[in-house]
Amino acid sequence: MKSNKGGLFLGIDLSTQGLKATIIDSGLNVVCEKAVNFDADLPEFKTKGGVHVHKDGLTVTSPALMWVAAMDLLLDRMKGEGCSFNEIVAISGSGQQHGSVWLANGARKMLAGLDGRKSLREQLSDLFSIGDSPIWMDASTTQQCKEREKALGGAQTVADLTGSRAYERFTGNQIAKIWQKNKAGYESTERVALVSSFAASLLVGGYVPIDASDGSGMNLMDLKTKKWSKAALDCTAPGLGEKLGDIALSHSVVGRVHKFYCDRYGFGRDCQVVAFSGDNPNSLAGLRLGAAGDIAISLGTSYTMFGVLSKPAPSAHEGHIFANPVDPATYMAMVVWQNGALTLERMRDKYAGGSWAKFQEMMGKTRAGNEGNIGFYIETPEITPPILKPCVRRFDIKGGDVAGFPPETDLRAVVESQMISMRVHGCNIGLEPERILATGGVSQNKTVLKVICDVFGVPVYVAKQANSASLGAAYRAKHGWECGNAGKFVPYAVTLAGAPPFTKVMDPDLEINRMYSDMIMRYRELEKKLTGGKE
């Protein structure tokens, strides 16, 4: 790795399926990337896609110690590649949103006492009061959502207060469930962290605040004041405010790396840690979304659609408003689909033997609009629209239920259904793109991009760098470091002046776009058959 006088910035992304690192230099060039895959690299934790789905099909957790072991492995790999840790001046990071990490009484001391002669895993095996962290795929808290919405005055009140109505995966509802079902676990907990703030805690060797942007995904924070809402805390669990600690703006410096990292890996003592945030907020930072009409579509494990709004209107039905991680004066709006890449990949495996090339070839044999056939592929509980009971439904052009489609038709039906759902539900919360920035694994796939482009009727761009969350974290490390040095907020655009432009990959076919606009009406009607009319 070349030496860099202006210092290096490290972004770390603790996602559902793995842990990634991206290092940039002061000119914003990516100089190093490394990754750990949980299933393949840490098979002893027996995860599938990084998670354990429990017997009820609704409870989904990940072993927190696996994340600790992954940090050891990632840093060892980077060290093995000769990574210049001593030149890193600031680190920030990203975590899958909503997941909670339960740190046991005494954990603060354990973190503070880290010793560079042993691995994190060796020293932190007793760190957790609850070892299985509930994550964003968990849909087991419908009862707690209902109870908390009732206590707070209804879905719209909760949305107005926290940015979203109560959602099963949102941390407040997960915490309420733990309090109700596992009181001993709750009581032996010193700190409840988010996945993002936990990763930062590992680096600092102590507790750090939750950042306002990821904090918006908890149904606990007052979105306007960016402080915990007392009413929301009170209807969740006793003594919760103390267990959660503070909230910080996302560009705040929250500490310096612990001596452990200096001794074991050669980090400098002054290397700063900037608040970690959620993966979607970090992607927003990585894709530098700022202009109205610039909307990102992230095609990863979950599919998400997001953009910046200055006057958001939180909805009692769907979508989320979060604090913007790079501009405290504005907000980000987002919609999430759980049946994203994994659902598409399962279809690819079923029909195209796991090959994207064959998948594209099969898509090429069908026409846009799929001869009027429409399908819904809810393989795991869906967030948008809320369909908690998995089901697959296929409809012909007359709206009649059909048992199956030919393979090619089935493949196109999944892609079209996923993208039409994005247009329908994104629009419901004010996400109306003038251009789309596509990111995430599936965005490499041109036939999928073509469907996005024609469904929305706007040009599609891609970032050269696929890992927008870890890149965004590296950008945010630079941003936070510059704000800290200046002693005041520095506009994000100033930090990122000179970042490489995005590449336009296609323009829409407006005739096909009109056809999709007509198809959307039918889609909405059919969707009601699955939701019973709920959005």
Closest to ligand XUL by CB, 4 vs 16, is 16
Q: Tell me, by CB under 6 A, how many residues bind ligand XUL.
A: 14
Four-residue CA torsion sign, 447, 421, 301, 504? positive
Neighbours of 150 (CB within 10 A): 13
Q: Are 366 and 359 in contact (CB under 8 A)?
A: no
End-to-end CA distance of the chain: 50
Instruction: Look at residues 66, 47, 52 and name the one whose alpha carbon lies nearest to residue 137.
Output: 52
Binding-site member from 148, 169, 191, 450 for ligand XUL (CB under 6 A)? 169
Work out the angle at residue 118's Cα, subtended by the Cα atoms of residues 116 and 122, and round it to the nearest 5 degrees.
135
Instruction: Look at residues 203, 204, 199 and name the one whose alpha carbon lies nearest to residue 278.
Output: 199
What is the token pair recorded at 4? 């860099």
Q: Are 13 and 467 in contact (CB under 8 A)?
A: yes
Phi, psi angle pair for 295, to nearest 5°:
-120, 135
165 binds ligand XUL (CB under 6 A): no
Binding-site member from 17, 272, 283, 302 for ligand XUL (CB under 6 A)? 302
Q: Under 8 Å CB-to-CB from 22, ≥6 apart: which residues?
A: 10, 11, 13, 30, 32, 33, 465, 467, 470, 471, 473, 474
- CA 53 → CA 56, 134, 176, distances in Å? 8, 10, 20
473 binds ligand XUL (CB under 6 A): no
Stretch 9-38 residues interacting with ligand XUL (CB under 6 A): 15-16
- Residue least distant from ligand XUL (Cβ): 97
141 binds ligand XUL (CB under 6 A): no
Closest to ligand XUL by CB, 39 vs 408, is 39
Closest to ligand XUL by CB, 96 vs 162, is 96
Q: How far is the CB of 210 from ligand XUL (least distance, A)?
A: 15
Given the structure tokens 């001596």, which residue do they identify?
259
CA distance 134 to 98: 9
Q: Which stretch binds ligand XUL (CB under 6 A): 67-75, 259-267, 272-280, 456-464?
A: 272-280
Given the structure tokens 């006057």, which residue do they identify?
311
Under DSSP, the state recorded for 48 is B
Q: Which stretch binds ligand XUL (CB under 6 A): 46-54, 94-102, 147-155, 487-495?
A: 94-102
Closest to ligand XUL by CB, 19 vs 114, is 19
336 binds ligand XUL (CB under 6 A): yes
280 binds ligand XUL (CB under 6 A): yes
Closest to ligand XUL by CB, 201 vs 338, is 338
97 binds ligand XUL (CB under 6 A): yes
Closest to ligand XUL by CB, 114 vs 463, is 463
61 binds ligand XUL (CB under 6 A): no
Q: How far is the CB of 388 from ligand XUL (least distance, A)?
A: 15
Stretch 206-225 residues interacting with ligand XUL (CB under 6 A): 217
Residues that bind ligand XUL (CB under 6 A): 15-16, 96-98, 136, 169, 217, 278-280, 302, 304, 336
